[in-house]
Amino acid sequence: MATKADKRSASYNQIESGAERAKPILHQSAREIQPYGKIAKLPIALDEKVCAASAENLNQVLADTITLRDLYKKHHWQVAGHTFYQLHLLFDKHHDEQDELVDMIAERIQLLGAISLAMAADIAETTIIPRPPRGREEVPVQISRLLEAHEIILKEARTMAAQADEAGDDGTNDLLVSNVIRSNELQVWFLAEHLVDVPVVHADNVKAASSGR
């Protein structure tokens, strides 16, 4: 005599019958189709060695840009003081702009036939931007830390843009100059002006200012 369990199993089998091809194949694993650091040559009229060199440079810029992006989000959450609202919005705006750069850089790396960094652990191992403390810092320190990170990226981007130009990699050169460098320079300007020591409620005496005191 069939038990309830047997009947239930038979019912499940009937329900599943004919749907085998629609079932997802789970828990799959295999070797990588392209290891990190290897080039899958695309017909973009660039030598493989040029692609590899540009991809290596761009992965460094990518790691540092991701770190800067996340640093903006950290300060967006943790900013405090009478400028909270303005900086809360500015930090988030800059975060979103850096996030756009992240996508541009990663796509350029893939276009070169290489593999872009993606996971947090790999970014942490690669970035040269110093790790901030976990806790909240005062606003001037937050801004100074962001400016230092921008400067790191700008220095490496200028060097790498020149290398790409010399190698004939116009696409990488254009990305670094038109997007990475110009975006970071503009954000530096918006940040640096917050560190100018200007009185909030009164102007300096005109006579004292003109006399250099």
> Would you say residue 61 lies in a domain?
yes
Is residue 54 over pLDDT 90? yes
Number of residues that this document lists for the chain: 213
Residue with tokens 């530096």: 188
Is residue 89 over pLDDT 90? yes
Question: pLDDT category, 3, cuts 50, 70, 90?
Answer: low
Contact 117, 59 (CB under 8 A): yes
> Would you say residue 209 lies in a domain?
no
> Would you say residue 39 lies in a domain?
no
Helix (H/G/I), strand (E/B), else coil: 1: coil
pLDDT score of 182:
98
Helix (H/G/I), strand (E/B), else coil: 136: coil
Nearest to 72 by CA among 151, 142, 155, 156: 142
> Would you say residue 33 lies in a domain?
no
Tally: H helices and E strands in the chain: 8, 0
Q: Which domain holds residue 148?
A: 48-196
> Would you say residue 29 lies in a domain?
no
pLDDT score of 202:
80
pLDDT score of 131:
97
Over residues 169-203, the pLDDT tens digits come to: 999 999 999 999 999 999 999 999 999 988 877 87
What percentage of the chain exceeds 90 in pLDDT? 80
Lowest mean pLDDT segment, chosen from 90-99, 134-143, 150-159, 199-208:
199-208
Q: Is the dihedral of CA 92, 175, 172, 100 positive or negative?
A: positive
Angle, helices 182-192 vs 139-167, to 10°: value is 160
Q: How far apart are CA 171 and CA 190, in angstroms?
A: 28
Q: What single-letter amino acid sits at 194? A: H
> Would you say residue 122 lies in a domain?
yes
Contact 76, 88 (CB under 8 A): yes
Is residue 45 over pLDDT 80? yes
Is residue 37 over pLDDT 70? yes
CATH of the domain at 146: 1.20.1260.10
> Would you say residue 132 lies in a domain?
yes
pLDDT score of 213:
52
Contact 114, 52 (CB under 8 A): yes
Q: How far apart are CA 65 and CA 71, in angstroms?
A: 10
Q: How far apart are CA 198 and CA 165, in angstroms?
A: 42
> Would you say residue 207 lies in a domain?
no
pTM, full prediction: 0.87
Q: Per the structure, how many domains does the chain have? A: 1
Q: What is the DSSP string of 144-195?
A: HHHHHHHHHHHHHHHHHHHHHHHHT-HHHHHIIIIIIIHHHHHHHHHHHGGG
